Amino acid sequence: MTVLRVYTDLVGESARRGELPAAEHLAALSRELALMESLVGVPRPAGAAAPAPAPAAAAGRPDLVAILSTLVESYRAAHASRIRLDFVAEEPEIPVSAEPVALQRAFRNVLDNAVKYTPAGGQVRVRASVVSQHAFVVISDTGAGMSPDEQKLAFAPAWRSPSAVASGIPGRGIGLGVTKELLEQNGGKISLLSEPGHGLEVTIMFPLGREGRT
């Protein structure tokens, strides 16, 4: 809500100065509203690009398909000129028992990193599926990938000692530890698969919503 409030303020200030609102502020407002709609199950206007909200969202079981679709759409709008972003959902909806805001933060963290570390002309793919009563989300990129040593450190708690920080030793600082914590607090699991030079594949797994698929 705070993000919505901030961009509403900025658009209002533009209007008071007699100026058109900045396109990026309107885009951010639209993105946040779409995300909120996907979280709370508000029907979208006809013609909107994202799919209709899942009934599961209204029942307190956020739909991974709706959340990921909205997120990928917003990242695509921002980065389409540089990289390709694809989203494939193998089910029309995938409800899970998880806190929706934590979900979108976790997915944003992973997508941020995938986009950040994918060079121009590369690709980020998001695939959501259901296997044996579990939801799987695989986010893969064509970036530099991670060495086995980096993968071991990737989930270390988001903490570096002041001496390590002061030493200036570079790290990816990609916050996968934070993402892991957010996911595990919500019953999810995360794992990595990568070879240096061949991109990174992040797999996130959740048990399906308690009432199963609708």
Partner 1 sequence: MTPRVFVVDDDPAMVEAVMAVLVHDGFEVDGASDAAEALRIVLRNPPDLVVLDVNMPGLTGWEICDILRRQPRTAGLPVLFLTGRGEVADRITAMQVGGTDHLTKPFRAEDLRARARVLTGRSATKGVR
Q: Which residues are near partner 1 by CB under 8 A?
A: 1-3, 5-7, 9-10, 13, 17, 22, 24-25, 28, 31-32, 105, 108-109, 112, 157-160, 162, 165-166, 168, 171, 173-175, 177-178, 181-182
State how far the Cα of 187 lies from the Cα of 185, in Å rounded to an integer.
Answer: 6
CA dist 69 to 73, 87, 197, Å?
6, 7, 28
Q: Answer yes or no: are the C-beta atoms of 125 and 189 closer than 8 Å.
A: no
State how far the Cα of 156 lies from the Cα of 73, in Å rounded to an integer.
Answer: 30
CA dist 197 to 14, 109, 117, 118, Å?
46, 21, 11, 11
State how far the Cα of 52 lies from the Cα of 130, in Å rounded to an integer.
Answer: 19
| Coarse DSSP helix, strand, coil percentages of the chain, rounded to the nearest 5 percent | 45, 20, 35
Question: In the complex with partner 1, which residue's Cβ is closer, 136 or 155?
Answer: 155
Contact residues for 158 (Cβ-Cβ < 8 A; gap 6+): 175, 177, 178
What tokens were used for 66? 């709706």
Rounded least distance, CB 61 to partner 1, Å? 22
Rounded least distance, CB 59 to partner 1, Å? 25
What tokens were used for 59? 């029942």
Rounded least distance, CB 56 to partner 1, Å? 23
Rounded least distance, CB 45 to partner 1, Å? 22
Rounded least distance, CB 100 to partner 1, Å? 13
Q: Which residues of 167-186 are buried (b: 16+ CB within 10 A; e: fewer)?
A: eeeeeeebbbeebbbbbeeb
Rounded least distance, CB 119 to partner 1, Å? 20
